Amino acid sequence: MQLEAALVRLRRRNVWQALDLGILLARRWYAPLLWLWLLGMLPILPVLAMILWCRPGWVVLAAFWFLQPLSEGPMMLWLGGALFGARPQIRPTLRAFRRRCGLGGCLGLLRFRLSPFRHFAYPVLLLEGPARGESGRRVATLGRGRNSGEFCHLIALLMTLVLALGAAIAAMHLVPESLQGIAPFTWPPLLTGAWLLATALLAPFWASCGFMLYISRRIELEAWDLELGLRALNQRLGGAGP
């Protein structure tokens, strides 16, 4: 990482400041992040549709939720380049994700799916590339302290639920009475579709917020702000001459 090229000031932030900055960055880069999520999920949805056809809606949503890290990975790679001055493109980012991840990397992403610190796990696996067996210890180190932000996943879940319910209720009111009660205009498929829509719309925000929590924690642990200050001081002293 080129710390001097960062587009934001690298300083210590609390959880709320990191989340706020993540939202601002997601708004700035919303379109490419959404495209990356959609293209990352594109190979997954047909497989789920074939395997889980005629299954209850909650089974589809549970499988979709569990596999979601496979679509969040490309966004993490893109954010890792964009924040530090690069101009990442969508196709090269997807190719880089497939090259770095592979089967073992995908299993590693899914292994942390139930962890409250998964917003640390995804950048660790994709950006740091730790040695085998080191990722768990690295994530545990980042997760210690007050600024770990493990509660943000509950906030994300609640906001997705509210948006999905609102979209499903609005869709049900738009369905003519003659079609109500006929598939696919019943509550289960409408709720499933609304949940997928809500997840897609909010995914760039949660990826960006999680990434900024990771960056904020690294600044705190590795004193990036102090390092940049010392570099600037050294340059001023060197430029002043004897």
Query: Which H, E and C letters describe 150-215, residue by residue?
Result: CCHHHHHHHHHHHHHHHHHHHHHHHCCCCCCCCCCCCHHHHHHHHHHHHHHHHHHHHHHHHHHHHH
pTM for this model (two decimals): 0.86
d(CA 57, CA 133): 36
**Bond from prior residue into 184 cis (ω within 30 degrees of 0):** yes
* pLDDT tier at 103, thresholds 50, 70, 90: low
Alpha helices in 10-87 (DSSP H): 15-28, 30-41, 44-51, 57-67, 69-82
* pLDDT tier at 33, thresholds 50, 70, 90: very high
User: Are the C-beta atoms of residues 14 and 148 closer than 8 Å to each other?
Assistant: no
* pLDDT tier at 70, thresholds 50, 70, 90: confident
pLDDT in tens, 117-146: 888 888 888 888 776 677 778 888 888 866
